[in-house]
């Protein structure tokens, strides 16, 4: 069982470290944020159960390679979240501001 329909898991990094997130393609914004891989794994197991964890190794490999769990065409995390609506009144945030916004949600 893949993470929810219309969503993917991602990871963004900067000089302060990394943030892991579940991204909704419905709202074009993160719907969950974790400060670590372990935190994301706990969330997936709690929300999606054993079925969600069954495909985790394959998704994790994609995340570590490209930054996103998206299957199919290879896409980098920055491209997947570029046209986000995570800002005030659904405005688009730069990658730097998106990471800052996600850290504030932790």
Question: pTM higher than 0.85, yes or no?
Answer: yes
**Looking at the domain assignment, is residue 1 inside a domain?**
no
Domain housing 50: 7-105
What is the structure's pLDDT at 28? 95
**Looking at the domain assignment, is residue 2 inside a domain?**
no
CA angle (101, 39, 46) in 5-degree steps: 110
Q: How confident is the model at residue 1 (pLDDT cuts 50, 70, 90)?
A: very low
Question: pLDDT averaged over the chain?
Answer: 93
Number of Cβ within a 10 Å radius of residue 5: 7
How many domains is the chain built from? 1
Regarding predicted confidence, which is higher, 24 or 4?
24
Residues 55/1, Cβ–Cβ less than 8 Å: yes
* Residue 12 per-residue DSSP state: E
**Looking at the domain assignment, is residue 99 inside a domain?**
yes
What is the structure's pLDDT at 50? 87
3-state secondary structure of 56: helix
Residues 67/78, Cβ–Cβ less than 8 Å: yes
């Amino acid at each position: 069982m893949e993470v929810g329909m219309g969503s993917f898991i991602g990871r963004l990094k900067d000089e302060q470290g990394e943030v892991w997130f579940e991204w909704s393609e419905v709202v074009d914004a993160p719907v969950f944020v974790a400060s670590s891989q372990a935190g994301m794994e706990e969330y997936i197991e709690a929300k999606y159960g054993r079925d969600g964890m069954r495909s985790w190794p394959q998704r994790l490999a994609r995340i570590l390679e490209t930054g996103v769990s998206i299957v199919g065409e290879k896409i980098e995390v920055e491209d997947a979240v570029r046209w986000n609506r995570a800002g005030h009144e659904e405005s688009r945030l730069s990658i730097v501001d998106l990471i800052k916004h996600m850290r504030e949600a932790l």
